[in-house]
Amino acid sequence: MAYSVIHSDEIDPAGPGGMVRFVRRGLGVEAFGINRFDLPPGAGGLEHDEASTGQEEVAFVFAGDGHWLVEGEQVPVRAGSFIRFDAGTVRRPMAGDDGLSFVAVGCPPGGYRPHGPF
């Protein structure tokens, strides 16, 4: 098939507390990982790194606010923020008073081949 489409409401909540929607699985993506996370007010996500997978990761906050604990440092984010992590960086998202909703995309370095001015 040349394309796939799914609405996030069609992806069952999963993971701890039902805070994750596995977008990659829903779309059948094979080139990179992509998931949606919805943390309720004051909630924390999973502390982790991607050292075992080698994935560089970018999160885009599309609603709410909060911060990431990055190697013990609080890095504030709000709707419209992008935050990037090296694979071995320990991080944990923490929702503020309005919750925190973000999409995370990951792939090992070298998986994307830049072309043109993009």
- For residue 112 the two structure tokens come to 């994307």
Q: Where are the domains of the chain?
A: 31-95+102-109
Please determine, looking at this structure, whether the domain spanning 31-95+102-109 carries the CATH number 2.60.120.10: yes
pLDDT in tens, 82-110: 999 999 999 999 999 999 999 999 999 88
Q: 29: closest CA among 11, 5, 51? A: 5
pLDDT in tens, 22-66: 999 999 999 999 999 999 999 999 999 999 999 999 999 999 999
Query: Global pTM?
Result: 0.92
**Contact criterion met (CB below 8 Å) for 53 and 60:** no
pLDDT value at 74 more than 90: yes
Q: d(Cα 66, Cα 44) in Å, to the nearest integer?
A: 10
**Contact criterion met (CB below 8 Å) for 96 and 72:** no
Band (pLDDT 50/70/90 cuts) for residue 118 is: low
Q: d(Cα 23, Cα 12) in Å, to the nearest integer?
A: 10
